[in-house]
């Protein structure tokens, strides 16, 4: 053990205290003793204990009060209660108030050792899990999604609202609006963050291939299936499965997918065994599924199963005020990646960015900035660093034209911060 585990033993019976001190010290723990509740609380103010093992029934300040004081001042300390035979109700109350567990008196020393050991182990796993989650959350936290327009605020609110639940989410939006980014944000802000996020591009795979990818197959299911293989749904167990381009799947596959959503179970291709799975589905499409339902190209029942919560990702042309923020974000990203000292976008170049319609949305903007950073010979991005299509005057004023122009005027003094 690199750092010693600190345990405080609290009991108004000195004999019990001494016994526990002796036994736990032998186990390699650093043990302190307190002969009453008041002393126990006082010691907690000076020392950070990993575990407090306290008797419940004590004269004056009792074990419950010790528990409450520690929960408040030192919530990470594990509290284990010792209760006299027959006072189970108090023990249960203690658990409800945050005690880790209780041992009944007269206790077996082995039981105490085991309870402490288990509690510490669980705490360690929890810490590890938190660290791991923290890493991923930093990577995909909402702050990674750039945009301050009212439309994007609505998106953040929905992500926050659905992240904690298990509801299926349908992300709808044009190509390049950030559907995959948002799917990841939902996963990494959910309780499933430490479990896998598996993305499947349903549009790019032939039907039979998609089926065996998703459901897996048993040995001999088809020519070439020399071993059995887990499908992506099984891989994603406990986590999230992102079904991208869900509007592209065949009617046969739609029926199979519906079963997964209804029964939460799958069968591998060629197999007979049903496998239970716990997977949250986030689906995405740039198609109009309602229209497809009307045309009988998409099953209505599946549509409703997927559309429990739907989230529309607005096209970039509807949120012009996000363009400078996104451009700045990508400028820093690609300047750092390419180690180029490009620090801002000239006003004239920015005006071009603001007037363009962005059919490819954020992805197109990202590509344009990446290219500009690569081409740039100075610290500033100039109009000539932008592709030709952005530099021609629009033939027809786009609907948001006046809005954009007013933004341009407001942003005459806009400069990007140095990174």
Residue 318 interacting partner from Mg ion, ligand ATP, none (CB closer than 5 to 8 Å by kind): none
Phi, psi for residue 380 in degrees, rounded to 5: -125, 140
Residue 173 contacts ligand ATP per CB under 6 A = yes
In angstroms, give the least distance from the CB of 90 to Mg ion.
55
- Nearer Cβ to ligand ATP (287/297): 287
Token pair belonging to 145: 């999604």
Residue 180 contacts Mg ion per CB under 5 A = yes
Residues 372, 377: Cα–Cα separation, whole Å: 10
Q: Are 124 and 56 in contact (CB under 8 A)?
A: no
Residue 147 contacts ligand ATP per CB under 6 A = yes
Residue 178 contacts ligand ATP per CB under 6 A = yes
- Nearer Cβ to ligand ATP (55/366): 366
Three-state secondary-structure class, residue 274:
strand
Residue 236 contacts ligand ATP per CB under 6 A = no
Residues 267, 273: Cα–Cα separation, whole Å: 6
Residue of this chain nearest to ligand ATP (CB atom): 178
Burial class (CB in 10 A: 0-12, 13-18, 19+), 60: exposed
Q: Are 44 and 51 in contact (CB under 8 A)?
A: no
CB atoms within 10 A of CB 103: 19
In angstroms, give the least distance from the CB of 146 to ligand ATP.
4
Residue of this chain nearest to Mg ion (CB atom): 180
In angstroms, give the least distance from the CB of 238 to ligand ATP.
23
- Nearer Cβ to ligand ATP (35/325): 325
Q: Which of 61, 142, 146, 194 binds ligand ATP (CB under 6 A)?
A: 146
Residue 240 contacts ligand ATP per CB under 6 A = no
In angstroms, give the least distance from the CB of 381 to ligand ATP.
18
In angstroms, give the least distance from the CB of 248 to ligand ATP.
11
In angstroms, give the least distance from the CB of 152 to ligand ATP.
7
Q: Which of 87, 149, 167, 175 binds ligand ATP (CB under 6 A)?
A: 175
b/e string for 182-220 if b means 16 or more Cβ within 10 A? bbbbbbbbbebbbbebbbbebeebeeeebbbbbbbbbee
Residue 158 contacts ligand ATP per CB under 6 A = no
Residues 322, 407: Cα–Cα separation, whole Å: 11
Q: Are 73 and 39 in contact (CB under 8 A)?
A: no
- What pairs with residue 313 in β-bridges? 173
What torsion, rounded to 10 degrees, do the Cα atoms 322, 325, 330, 331 define?
140
In angstroms, give the least distance from the CB of 23 to ligand ATP.
56
- Nearer Cβ to ligand ATP (176/231): 176
What torsion, rounded to 10 degrees, do the Cα atoms 388, 394, 398, 402 define?
100
In angstroms, give the least distance from the CB of 234 to Mg ion.
23
Residue 40 interacting partner from Mg ion, ligand ATP, none (CB closer than 5 to 8 Å by kind): none
Q: Which residue has the tokens 């962005």?
A: 358
Residues 195, 366: Cα–Cα separation, whole Å: 29
Among candidates 278, 279, 302, which has minimal Cα distance to 290? 302
Among candidates 276, 279, 251, 252, which has minimal Cα distance to 265? 276
Residue 371 contacts ligand ATP per CB under 6 A = no
- Nearer Cβ to Mg ion (180/237): 180
Q: Which of 362, 368, 372, 386 binds ligand ATP (CB under 6 A)?
A: 362
In angstroms, give the least distance from the CB of 179 to Mg ion.
5
Distances (CA, A) of 207 to 9, 176, 212, 292, 407: 64, 25, 9, 19, 47
Residues 275-334 that bind ligand ATP (CB under 6 A): 286, 326, 329
Q: Which stretch binds ligand ATP (CB under 6 A): 89-97, 124-132, 139-147, 228-236?
A: 139-147
In angstroms, give the least distance from the CB of 202 to ligand ATP.
11
- Nearer Cβ to ligand ATP (43/363): 363
Would the CA dihedral through 259, 264, 268, 270 be positive or negative? Answer: negative
- Nearer Cβ to ligand ATP (182/279): 182
Residue numbers at the binding site for Mg ion (CB under 5 A): 180
Residue numbers at the binding site for ligand ATP (CB under 6 A): 145-147, 173, 175-181, 286, 326, 329, 362-363, 366
């Amino acid at each position: 053990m690199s750092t010693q585990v600190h345990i405080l033993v609290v009991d108004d019976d000195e004999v019990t205290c001494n016994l526990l001190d002796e036994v736990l010290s032998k186990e390699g723990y650093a043990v302190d003793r307190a002969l009453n509740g008041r002393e126990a609380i006082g010691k907690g103010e000076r020392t950070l204990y990993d575990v407090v093992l306290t008797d419940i029934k004590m004269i004056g300040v009792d074990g419950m009060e010790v528990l409450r004081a520690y929960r408040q001042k030192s919530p990470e300390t594990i509290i284990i209660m010792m209760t006299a035979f027959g006072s189970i109700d108090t023990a249960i109350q203690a658990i409800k108030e945050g005690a880790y567990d209780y041992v009944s008196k007269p206790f077996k020393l082995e039981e105490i050792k085991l309870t402490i050991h288990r509690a510490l182990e669980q705490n360690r796993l929890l810490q590890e899990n938190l660290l791991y989650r923290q890493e991923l959350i930093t990577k995909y936290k909402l702050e990674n999604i750039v945009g301050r327009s009212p439309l994007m605020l609505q998106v953040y609110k929905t992500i926050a609202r659905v992240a904690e639940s298990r509801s299926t989410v349908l992300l709808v939006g044009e190509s390049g609006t950030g559907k995959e980014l948002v799917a990841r944000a939902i996963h990494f802000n959910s309780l499933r963050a430490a479990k896998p996020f598996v993305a499947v591009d349903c549009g790019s795979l032939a039907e039979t291939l998609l089926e065996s990818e998703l459901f897996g197959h048993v040995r001999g299911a088809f020519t070439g299936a020399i071993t059995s293989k887990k499908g992506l749904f099984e891989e994603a167990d406990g986590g999230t499965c992102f079904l991208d381009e869900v509007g592209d799947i065949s009617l046969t596959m739609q029926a199979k997918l519906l079963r997964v959503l209804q029964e939460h179970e799958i069968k591998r291709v060629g197999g007979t065994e049903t496998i239970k799975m716990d997977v949250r589905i986030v689906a995405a499409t740039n198609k109009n599924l309602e229209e497809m339902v009307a045309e009988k190209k998409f099953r209505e029942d599946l549509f409703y199963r997927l559309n429990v919560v739907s989230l529309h990702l607005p096209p970039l042309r509807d949120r012009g005020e996000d363009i400078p923020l996104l451009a700045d974000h990508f400028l820093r990203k690609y300047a750092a990646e390419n180690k180029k000292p490009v620090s801002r976008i000239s006003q004239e170049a920015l005006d071009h960015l603001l007037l363009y319609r962005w059919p490819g949305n954020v992805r197109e903007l990202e590509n344009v900035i990446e290219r500009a950073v690569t081409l740039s010979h100075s610290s500033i991005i100039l109009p000539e660093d932008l592709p030709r299509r952005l530099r021609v005057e629009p033939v027809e004023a786009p609907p948001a034209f006046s809005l954009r122009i007013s933004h341009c005027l407001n942003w005459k003094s806009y400069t990007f911060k140095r990174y």
